[in-house]
A = this chain, B = another copy of it.
Amino acid sequence: METARRIVAEEGVDRLTMRRLAKEIGSTPMALYHHVRDKEELLLLLLDDYAARTLHRTEPSAEPRERVVLAAATIHEALAACPWIVGVLTADDLTATSALWFVEQIVDGLIECGLSPERAVHGYRAIWYYTAGEILVRATAARRRTDDDRPTYRERVFADLDPAELPRLAQVADQWAPLTAKDTYLDGLGALVDGLLAAR
């Protein structure tokens, strides 16, 4: 586990292979299969390990809306520091044992704010979709930027935008890059939570 953790931290999850890990610990690929069913199980172990190691419970606020926002932001922060893990996480729900406490905070906060248990669960899922999407989009965009220098697809598209057909996009085209680089996770989260809480 220790070696696997190091490989992922230093070189990314793509470089963690059964063969590589086996070599690094001075063993054979097949020896690993005596301890895990397959590679996915190894990744799930790694996920639990990471969650237990970095996801520290926050002081739960007395104000229920604050509890929801704080729990989501804490999970977001842990994931942002370690974006590879989202790919593993989305495989199932956000159900690493150590993350459950945060799910509890969100569901509880939403119920305390007056949602039915059913709508609270749906609300939690909306928050999770938004959070997972933010991490994923941002992580993949970052990977793209580093590993080649040719202009991105987006740059090419925005360069020859027809202002007659897409006036709003043309209007914001030159600010697009700085605007989208900005971290607005918390703004979006606040809006989402407000919307979930508003009786509709």
| Residues in chain A within 8 A of chain B (CB atoms) | 44, 90-93, 95, 97, 100-101, 103-104, 107-108, 111, 117-118, 120-123, 125-126, 128-134, 136-137, 140-141, 144, 152-154, 157-158, 161, 165-169, 171-172, 175-176, 179-180, 182, 184, 187-188, 190-196, 198, 200
Closest Cβ–Cβ distance, residue A51 to chain B (whole Å)? 12
A153 touches B198 (CB 8 A): no
CA distance A81 to B95 in the complex (A): 26
Set of chain B residues within 8 Å of A154, measured between Cβ atoms: 92-93, 95
The answer to whether A191 and B192 touch (CB under 8 A), given A125-B184, A153-B44, is yes
Task: Sample 17 A-B pairs with CB under 8 A, ordered by A number.
Answer: A91-B141, A91-B144, A92-B140, A100-B157, A100-B169, A107-B169, A117-B168, A117-B175, A121-B176, A122-B188, A126-B191, A129-B130, A129-B133, A132-B137, A188-B192, A195-B198, A198-B198
Majority secondary structure, A binding face: helix
**How far, in angstroms, from A91 to B104 measured CA to CA in the complex?**
32
Chain B residues within an 8 Å CB radius of A190:
195, 200
Residues in B neighbouring A117, C-beta threshold 8 A: 168, 171-172, 175
Q: Tell me which residues across on chain B come within 8 A of A91, comparing CB atoms.
A: 140-141, 144
- Give the residue of B123, B167, B171, B184 whose beta carbon is less than 8 angstroms from that of A126: B184
Least Cβ distance of A193 to chain B in Å?
A: 7
Residues of B within 8 A of A180 (CB): 93, 121, 125
Q: How far is the CA of A131 from the CA of B166 in the complex (A)?
A: 22
**Which residues of B sit under 8 angstroms from A120, Cβ to Cβ?**
168, 172
